[in-house]
Amino acid sequence: VVQSFTSIKPNKTTLRLNVLLYDILCRYLTVNYLFKCPCVIKPGTNQCIAYDSRFQASSIEEAILAFPDISGDTRTLEAAAGGNLNADAFSCRTLECQTCVALLVPRLVSAGLLKAPSEITIPVARNVTPKNCHRFRFANPPPHRFLGQRFTIACINRGEAESEETDLLNLCSVCWTWRQLPEDYFPRLVNELLCVNGNGSTCLSGWGSCHQRFRNVDVLKRVGGKWQTTTISIANCCDCKVKAGTEAHALVVGKAYF
């Protein structure tokens, strides 16, 4: 398009038009390059390697719409849909979706993942009623930001219930966090659940200790200008374990050893 106009005898009007068209074309190509997902064909198929949207996202907006709150009951992950998001999910038309966005965005700003709420183009609810959002549990304020590229969204302390709808108490203190990978990785955002204070923090009044568990996920890494698959470990669970032979051992297995 730009080339066809450059063949015309130049004057002020055509020069302005050429510059305008060139600018529009550059913007179009830049946007499409930045937001086009890299496609690496899965061996033995003709399909691109996909990622699970419950644990990985390629943008902040995708993470806002897809990441479930993994600080609660992990069974909610089974109910949450994985795979890629469709156009309806990105439109965020429901009151629940817009309320969840309104509750989450300020926390992302506080955590440092966003500079301002205006960076998000997803519609938000004007009058926010927290009970309209069932995806997140925001009873506690987030703690200080972790070192590195982990950003804390919400936490549950030991001895607290996950929500007002249950009387089951957590044995370990955990935090729901998002981790941002370097620019040469795709997707860059990872959904994690971390043990507070890492491995070894106590549970069951000192009879047990909390241990971080991990899962492996596949990501793409740009090496020499080409995308290659690699595997990283992400934190996904915090277990309370007791030492064998102690009084708590009998409590766990339901038998009297002493």
Least trusted range by pLDDT, from 20-34, 97-111, 162-176, 210-224: 20-34
Residues β-bridged to residue 105: none
Instruction: Kindly state the average pLDDT of the residues 42-52.
Output: 78
Q: Check pLDDT > 90 for residue 216.
A: no
Note the pLDDT of residue 128: 82
Q: Which residue has the tokens 């909390």?
A: 210
Residue of 238 and 244 predicted with greater confidence? 238
Q: Quick: pLDDT tens for 196-211.
A: 876 667 888 888 889 8
Average per-residue pLDDT for the chain: 76
Tokens of 124: 């938000």
> What Å distances lie between residue 208 and 156, 213, 244, 248, CA to CA?
18, 16, 10, 8
> How many residues appear in the chain?
258
- Comparing 128-137, 182-191, 224-233, the range with the smallest average pLDDT is 128-137
Q: Is 222 helix (H, G, I), strand (E, B) or coil?
A: strand
Largest CA distance in the chain: 99
- 146 φ, ψ to 5°? -70, 160
Which pTM was predicted?
Answer: 0.55
For residue 217, pLDDT over 80 is answered with yes
DSSP code, position 132 = G
Calculate the CA dihedral of residues 248, 253, 256, 258 and round it to 10 degrees.
-40
Mean pLDDT of 184-199: 87
State the average pLDDT over residues 183-203: 85
